[in-house]
Each structure stands twice: as C-alpha cells, then as structure tokens.
Amino acid sequence: MNPLGIHALVWAGDIEPSSVELAARQTRAAGYQFLELSLHDTTQLDVDHARTTLAEHGLGVACSRGLAFDADISSDDPAVVERGARLLRESVDVAAALGARNLCGALYSALGKYAQPVTRQGYANAVDVLREVAEEAGRCGLGLGIEVVNRYETHVLNTAAQALRFIDAIGAENVYVHLDTYHMNIEETDLVQPVLDCGDRLGYIHIGENHRGYLGAGSIAFGSFFHALQRIDYRGGITFESFSSAVVMPGLCSDLAVWRNLWSDGMDLAVSARAFMQSHLRAAAATVRQVGS
C-alpha cells in the first residue's frame, strides 16, 4: 500500500520546535508514515531539531511551499523572479537537510488570485528558474513536484495537461506532477483521465475534500480517483490535507481562503482520513485484481 502522510497544518499553525514535536507525535499516533511540512516561513524552523524529532518518531518527511507576489518566478520583473529563485534554492537546501525526497507545491508562481493570464515572458521565467532549481535538487537526491492548483490560486497551471507541458519544457527527470483532488474537483472534467495522462510522471498526491474538511463528507468521487491510481500502478506518497481556522494561523488562512472552522479535533479528523484512504486503496486494488484475473 502507498505510504500515507498528513499535512502538519492539521496539527499546528506553525513549524516552531514545539509545533513540530506535536505534529510528529500526533502523526505517528494517528498511524501515518510521513509528515508534510510547509516551508512558507522557514525562519521558524529548527532544521536539526525537526530532523531528529521526525527520526525519533520513525517518520519520513515531505516538504511543500508556494511563493509570494514579491517573490514570483512567473513575474516579468527580473528582481521579483530572482527573489523567488532564491527562496526556491533555500527551500531545496532545507528539504534536503530534513531528509526529504520531495519538495512539492505551487513552486512556479505566487499562491493567490491574479488579475490577468501569465505572460509569455513570465511563463518562460518560471521554466528557466525551475530548470536550474531542479538541477540543484537533483544533486541532493530531491524531486520537485509541480502541484496543479485552481484558478483562484495561480494563473500558470490549473490542469494536469498544462502541468505535463510545463515539465516537458523544464526537461528534468526529477520534476514530476503533483495532483490534488481539491483542486482537480474545481478544474478537471473528471478525476480519472488526468491520472491516466500523467502515468509514471505522477509523483505526489494531496487528498482533500471539496470543502477541505472530513473525507467522505463532501462531493468528490474518490472511488474513481483511487481506481485510476491503481490502473497506473502509482506507488508514491499520498498526503491528507485539510485546513481549519481552528488551527491555521490568520495570515495563512487569508492566503488559503480558510474562512470557516470545519473541524477542531485534529486527531479524529486524521484517524478518519487514514481509514478512508486505506479503504479506498484496498477496494481499488481488489477491483484491479478482479479485472486482471
């Protein structure tokens, strides 16, 4: 079965040492194999402490981040692009020091609503920067997951088809597609064909409900999605992601438009999500075996 992870924002709103300790302890207690840490504010992160803490709990780690508008590599402004490139290089160093194998997210633009489409120059800037960052990441044994997010959070990549063209332009073997069911539910025509189109270029997954609350309490057709993963023999990490204003800090709540308290008991949420994902993985595997027999 695929390794299952959980986003640290289910447990704590920051990545200070005490919060990392809490997140690691709760992640292990909830039965997950790895923890995803957001690198949106690495000034809070004690890397050595975090790596030791994760090891003590027998957990793997994945890292994710987005960019800000003043550090947007899809900008036409060279100074803004350079600030974003510097953040990505720093994030590669942090992720590698933590022992991560994946650095994922909207690595190609600011995370927020744009007023116009990406320009030809902005797109080229994002490709060029990520080609250079991928080379550095490769030397660290790190893969870059290009997360496909919805139109209200980027103007560069909103569908898996766009992401595939983007990584083709980058041309690096350690760059792959990162799909998220929350975003797919908004932008894709279904949850199956994008998975099949990505095939072995799908490298990381976020599982989130359409309202980002309890899995199974919304409208997403998870059965077809997990069946598609089985059809391509996807063996990578699957991370549960959910946000509530009860945990997420106000600034990040604003960035992610988390206006409601969808839950307050992170452990109940996490245990429920793990059982939900495992059930779908088993059902999809059984179906594929029956079809093949």
Q: What is the pLDDT of residue 106?
A: 97
Radius of gyration of the chain (CA): 18
pLDDT tens, 163-184?
999 999 999 999 999 999 999 9
263 has a pLDDT exceeding 90: no
Tokens of 130: 């990520």
H/E stretch holding 131? helix 120-139
250 has a pLDDT exceeding 70: no
Q: What is the pLDDT of residue 264?
A: 83
291 has a pLDDT exceeding 90: no
* DSSP secondary structure string for all residues of 211-250: TSSSTTSSS--HHHHHHHHHHTT--S-EEE----TTTS-H
Residues annotated as part of the active site: 147, 241
Q: What is the pLDDT of residue 142?
A: 98
Domain spans, the chain? 4-292
CATH architecture, domain 4-292:
Alpha-Beta Barrel (3.20)
pTM: 0.94
Q: What is the pLDDT of residue 247?
A: 67
pLDDT tens, 137-157?
999 999 999 999 999 999 999
In angstroms, how far is CA 178 from the centroid of its own chain?
7
Q: What is the pLDDT of residue 183?
A: 98
